[in-house]
Amino acid sequence: MEQTTLQVPGMRCGGCANRIEEAVKHIEGVRRVKADFMAHTVDVAFDSDKLDAAAVRSAIENTGYEVVA
């Protein structure tokens, strides 16, 4: 299992955080996702043999939020 923390500065409220969590948690291979809109971070734990951090990143970007790191 691999863990990554992505910076998503566009999150402004709990609704933003929920939207991102919903988008990420349904990806096959994702074990856990926690979005914190105050810290502007998204912590994701996933099976590295099923997907990589780039796939998580593009799922977030597809919801309309920019991922800066």
Determine if 16 is a binding residue for Cu ion (CB under 5 A).
yes
- Minimum Å gap between C-beta 29 and Cu ion is 26
Interaction residues for Cu ion, span 35-54 (CB under 5 A):
none
Choice between 13 and 38, CB closer to Cu ion: 13
List of long-range contacts for 22-28, beta carbons under 8 Å, 24+ apart: 23/59, 23/60, 23/62, 23/63, 24/56, 24/59, 24/60, 27/51, 27/55, 27/56, 27/59
Determine if 64 is a binding residue for Cu ion (CB under 5 A).
no
Q: Which stretches of the chain bind Cu ion, using CB under 5 A?
A: 12-13, 15-16
